[in-house]
Amino acid sequence: MTANQKRVRQARCALKAYGHNRHPVRTDFYETEEAITDLIADLYHLAQSENIDVEAVARQALEHFKAELIADTNPDSLKRTPNRITSWQI
């Protein structure tokens, strides 16, 4: 199982719990695009209530997603090389 397959499994568990909490009668809710949208929106509300910059979180999450896609298909892309400056080196 790849790292991204594990991430999908974890997200599916979170979405299932969210869907069950929101709609205990609808067993299919956690698999829908609507559920994903609602969960993300509710997480934004949580972030805002904690004085967290929602747009910054959204941008960072998308960057993590893109990096994880690349890393899962090309693990060598994350290897540290002396000729490459990355954020961990700064």
| Total number of domains constituting the chain | 1
Give a yes or no: residue 83 inside a domain: no
What pLDDT is stored for residue 19 in this prediction? 83
Residue 55 binned pLDDT confidence (cut-offs 50, 70, 90): very high
Looking at the chain, the number of H-run helices and the number of E-run strands are 3, 0
Q: Give the burial class of 19: count Cβ atoms within 10 A of its Cβ; 0-12 exposed, 13-18 middle, 19 or more buried.
A: buried
**Mean pLDDT (whole number) for 17-38:** 77
Give a yes or no: residue 14 inside a domain: yes
> Domain span at residue 13?
3-76
